[in-house]
Amino acid sequence: MTGKMPSIEGRIHQHYASLPTAERKLADLLLGFPGDVAAYSATELSHLAGVSKAAATRLFQRLGFKNFDEARRLARDARNWGAPLYMQTPARRVTDFDTDRTTYLDDETSALTNTLNALREEEVEQIVAALSSAKRLWMMGFRYNHVIAAYAHWQFTQFRPDTHLIPVSGQTLGEYTSDMGKNDVVVIAGFRRRTKGLLDVMKLISAQGTNILYLTDSTAQKTPRFATWTIFCQVSGDFMFDSYSSPISVLRYLSLQTFTAIGKNARTHLEKIERHHEKLSELA
């Protein structure tokens, strides 16, 4: 789903005021849980809304779909794209505290386990060698991916110089990409839903010969081809919001391995930072 095709809820809002009573009942159900279109048949949806299947058919036609299957494909694309509204279902509501906490923990554990078990030793060794020997590290991410990039920056800047977080507020990427070289490494967080410009940025950086470490999820199709190394992290699960514990864990693991690979210089850099913290009385 690219965002070019009108969403189901967007179509409903366009027609809502003129909907007959039966169609409006189904529309209300879909506005609450649009992802149900991907999970149920037209007959099941009409039953849940308490309307006839004919009313359901009329509604989807009114919304501009040739048939229900076309609406279902759109809903599935939205769910795969990571749209939270389409990932929420009535069945995934909070029950009691202990049950929901256990379900959540299982969800997080599964994401972490599947992601870390998929790491390949040879590739990790190559990545760590590049991160430890690079002239400069650039950490990049857009929207919530910027938070993941910021975490990577905070980890690596503690023990190696020339580690930069981009983009900085108020500046565009050209100020940074023009300065990237073959001896640099760019760590990019690109999890769904990715910004439209990410592909062009990765093309440009790759064309300059700069190595790219790309952390993303399994829905990425075009962007991985421009990365030197791609680590796929599991972020989807049984809940409506994606989990980012797995990419954070991968970055922590890589920072630990890189610290060890750099050795004495990494420790010296960290000790210098700690001394400055003390001199400035920055930390309580």
78 and 191 inside one domain: no
Distance CA 112, CA 171 (A): 34
Backbone torsions φ then ψ of 168, nearest 5 degrees: -85, 145
Q: Domain containing 29 — which CATH number?
A: 1.10.10.10
- Mean pLDDT over residues 27-55, rounded? 85
Percent of the chain with pLDDT over 70: 91
CA torsion through residues 115, 117, 120, 126, sign: positive
Whole-number pLDDT of residue 3? 47
* Domain final position from 77, 92, 107: 92
Query: Whole-model pTM?
Result: 0.71
Whole-number pLDDT of residue 2? 44
Give the pLDDT confidence of 57-70 residue by residue, as tens digits. 999 999 999 888 88
Q: Closest Cα partner for 228 from 202, 191, 254, 189?
A: 202
36 and 142 inside one domain: no
In a domain, 112, yes or no: no
Q: Domain containing 170 — which CATH number?
A: 3.40.50.10490
74 and 156 inside one domain: no
Which 3-state string (H, E, C) describes the chain? CCCCCCCHHHHHHHHHHHCCHHHHHHHHHHHHCCCHHHHCCHHHHHHHHCCCHHHHHHHHHHCCCCCHHHHHHHHHHHHHHCCHHHHCCHHHCCCCHHHHHHHHHHHHHHHHHHHHHCCCHHHHHHHHHHHHHCCCEEEEECCCHHHHHHHHHHHHCCCCCCEEEECCCCCCCHHHHCCCCCCCEEEEEECCCCCCCHHHHHHHHHHCCCEEEEEECCCCCCHHHHCCEEEECCCCCCCCCCCCHHHHHHHHHHHHHHHHHHCHHHHHHHHHHHHHHHHHCCCC
Whole-number pLDDT of residue 86? 59
In a domain, 100, yes or no: no
127 and 256 inside one domain: yes
Q: Which of 47-51, 189-193, 257-261 has maximum average pLDDT?
A: 257-261
Average pLDDT, the chain: 88
49 and 143 inside one domain: no
Distance CA 11, CA 60 (A): 10
Number of domains in the chain: 2
131 and 255 inside one domain: yes
Q: How confident is the model at residue 1 (pLDDT cuts 50, 70, 90)?
A: very low
Whole-number pLDDT of residue 242? 86
In a domain, 108, yes or no: no
- Mean pLDDT over residues 198-227, rounded? 94
Please, which residues have CB within 8 angstroms of residue 171's CB and are 6 or more apart in sequence?
none
Distances from the Cα of 119 to the Cα of 52, 216, 250, 266, angstroms = 51, 13, 9, 24
128 and 259 inside one domain: yes
Domain of residue 53, residue span: 8-92
